[in-house]
Chains A and B, each alone.
Chain A
């Protein structure tokens, strides 16, 4: 019986291999909107030109959240894509999903790929328990864009931006302008109410979000952000909002951008992936654009920043041909040329060291120093568990809870200390619930 089956399956494999002499089609779902849809399609087209036996079907599937939802639905329906782009905080969920192939497994089988070409911070983020799970693709970090023209107007040196929190507050005060009726017509600073920034300020102070080395030594079981470092951030944020030097632009990224681009705020905390957009806005609205590192509280050891953005995951479709094709595509995307195209077209930094080197030699960074700042901030970060970023299953919930807690502080519903404790309790509850499924 078994021998018959063996023979049959051999014949089947033989026949199937004939079918696969024809081009292999792989599906790639991503969450990059706007002009980036075209940019990714162009990259795929270039790849297909040099790899005529692979067809990449690129599909924009909405936001990170939408893309993950669609992937979950597709997995349940038994028809998942071969490659999917998943946001940073979905890392643990994807590891636990049971549907992926860690790229480390593919690297182990492929001598042509040198893992050391990956920028260490990007590689470090997606490495959990010593394994690289997904291929870094669009990596960013947070920076503060500032309006040099408004700095000059306020009597500040545009080439000496603040580096500490107290300097930052002092400058923001000077940059806040009120009319005769006491209405603020220009804010010193603006930012969205985005939990990612809290995580970044934690890393700046080299403080972890979760226990067990931020969830990197083993599965995190507790949130630990209710710490002096966490409280410092809540107070810093709240003081700026309450004193009227910072405009809280609410949830999301587009409002604060609009406010900064229309010069209603002199400084903006956002992602490095906005560099291209900001350079263009500065040109259109006739102001000079500066980029500065995230300021840090004085007297606290400096950590660094964490990469954000997303990475590309390989889904296990039990089809060796497709897996090989998917890996070829991922490997190609991490190469020098595609990374340069991607990075210069967006503001995400290249995740390939050689790409950074090439851009540097070509004088790109001399021409656009704003791009250099975004990479330097990252490369000057210390590599510690805190700056490698936290890993935890219910991270989306944790991030939203911190945003919620800050909202409660702004509403005067809770003090900063109460809100932080509340957020940590909520996070712990979510972590416990999630982990109970994996014991």
Chain B
């Protein structure tokens, strides 16, 4: 199993960030994604970085764990940095590197884009690290509620989302189990020519599909047997609630935006 990818993995905890209402977190991240693009100078980037790092520290998730989880993303960040460095032709020429001329504008641009990228990924992975998938779907269902007026199947969509999220770990386990069973029968998933390796996937995929379909059928039957009916009259086990914490969170975020615009204009 791929343990290095942490996006989508929830780490239980009881920090301020964990206890925020998922709607608050989603709203803040939604606006954060926009304001990241408003930063235009060192102080304004500083404000954003400070905000993101503060969130990270308050979440009490081990920093080493977050950083290790971002390893696949580091490559992308560095790649965009180098691309900007080489391609941008603004400002003064700093030095020549083989056939490339490195411009000061390129350096700045590269840094700016990499920081934006890093911030976006850090903040969004903090969302999934501190919020259970169920909370996220509940929040999305609640936030999409106005669309109901236009006959948009909000509840069904949320149900589909939570079911598929629920079954991701199950499918991963299943994949692990079947690939081990087939490896014991002599399948080699890791080495050998590409053609052979593609062929080796069939004994993995067929049992996986069969069990997924079977599981879906059983789930549907179990839901029907218990008289499941979606819709307006259905109550929830966990009601989402906006608390003082959330108001505090919003206030801080609005302050961050305010400071950002001040530094952007006068910094």
Q: Verify that A and B bind, or say they do not.
A: no
Chain A contact residues, CB within 8 Å of chain B: none
